[in-house]
Amino acid sequence: MSEALLAEQRAARRVTTATRMRRATPYLLMLPPILLLLGLVVYPMVYNVNLSLHSYRTGAFVGLHNFLRVFDDPLFVGSLRATGLYMLLAVGIEVLLGLALALFIHRSVTSAAVRTIVYILMILPMVTPPVAAGVIARLMYTPNYGVLNHLLRLGGVITRDIEWLSTGPTAMFSVLSVDIWQWTPFVFLVTFAGLQAVPQDVLEAAKSDGAGSWNLFRYIEFPYLRSLLLLVLVFRGTDTLRVFDHVLVLTGGGPGSSTEFLSIYLYRVAFKFFDLSYAAAISLYVLLAASVVFMLLQRLLATEAVM
């Protein structure tokens, strides 16, 4: 083979290596974060699966035993029921209140300054750490010292202190109220931004055709808000599966197990009963629940084409 041909081949090989390098560069750059995510998100789930199939104490393979235990576990069923109730009430009330507030401000408050002030005030509860929200709720609800009982007595609503944190329904109310206080602003911010996107001329046209307030909302504004409301449902729906901080601080899951939501129960099984295998199985159920909620709503969102 001649010198020239060899040199040419070498050059060609250099080019292909260079191209290959160039093609690989983006993936090489992404490798470290992806590995970290695999190691700290995917591996833990694999670990959970493995743990749930074995007995934590003896290490023996027990098949689906831990997954079947939930059916005979009244505490698990109770936590499921509490979580369902919490999800329904918290998300429902937040959506209604937040939407109502957004519509109210959109229609009745025209001053830009007032709107900005409302926007800023709405951020405050949302970004308050849940443990700090727990502090606030303590100051509100504690029977003897809490200010709520005092205010209610002043207003003549009650004559005897209500033990807010000591009975099931009132404890649930207290815990819910924190969530609603913190997250109604989220619904407000999202839907208010959505309302700004409604074209003004369409609204004006409908108004001059004599459409009432309700019809304006139902037929003109609501279609613009629908996908955003679904988005809110995805976020808030999956977030209620993770409530932990303010509940632990406020009621610790009690009284009894009336506010023992899935996450609190899971924590208790793992770190109070040290039944880690069972906790792993429950973790996988919670993961499944979150995935179902996420996928259902994502499918809805996909048809709405926002994400």
CB nearer to other proteins: give 4 or 32.
32
CB of 245 to other proteins, least distance (A): 4
CB nearer to other proteins: give 8 or 47.
47
Residues 145-184 that bind other proteins (CB under 8 A): 145, 147, 150, 154, 181
Question: Is residue 262 classed as helix, strand or coil in its secondary structure?
Answer: helix
Residues 28-57, mask of contacts with other proteins (x by CB under 8 A): -xx-xxx-xx--xx-xxx-xx--x------
Exposed/middle/buried for 145, CB within 10 Å: 0-12, 13-18, 19+? exposed
CB nearer to other proteins: give 29 or 68.
29
CB of 125 to other proteins, least distance (A): 7
Q: What residues have CB less than 8 Å from 238, skipping those under 6 apart? A: 290, 293, 294
Q: Which two tokens stand for residue 144?
A: 């003897």
CB of 4 to other proteins, least distance (A): 31
Q: Are 52 and 66 spatial neighbours (Cβ–Cβ below 8 Å)?
A: yes
Closest to 81 in 3D by CA, of 236, 259, 278, 269 = 259
Provide the 8-state DSSP code for 217: I
Residues 200-259 that bind other proteins (CB under 8 A): 228, 231, 234-235, 238, 241-242, 244-245, 248-250, 252
Provide the 8-state DSSP code for 209: T
Query: Residues binding other proteins: what is the number (CB under 8 A)?
Result: 91
15 binds other proteins (CB under 8 A): no
Binds other proteins (CB under 8 A): choice among 76, 86, 164, 186:
186
CB of 7 to other proteins, least distance (A): 27
Closest to 171 in 3D by CA, of 98, 238, 246 = 246
CB nearer to other proteins: give 7 or 46.
46
Phi, psi of 198 (to 5 degrees): -70, 125
96 binds other proteins (CB under 8 A): no
CB nearer to other proteins: give 164 or 186.
186
Closest to 290 in 3D by CA, of 96, 45, 97 = 45
Binds other proteins (CB under 8 A): choice among 271, 273, 299, 303:
271
Binds other proteins (CB under 8 A): choice among 130, 162, 187, 236:
130
Helix axes 147-154, 130-141, angle to 10 degrees: 40
Binds other proteins (CB under 8 A): choice among 127, 160, 200, 210:
127
Q: What residues have CB less than 8 Å from 169, skipping those under 6 apart? A: 258
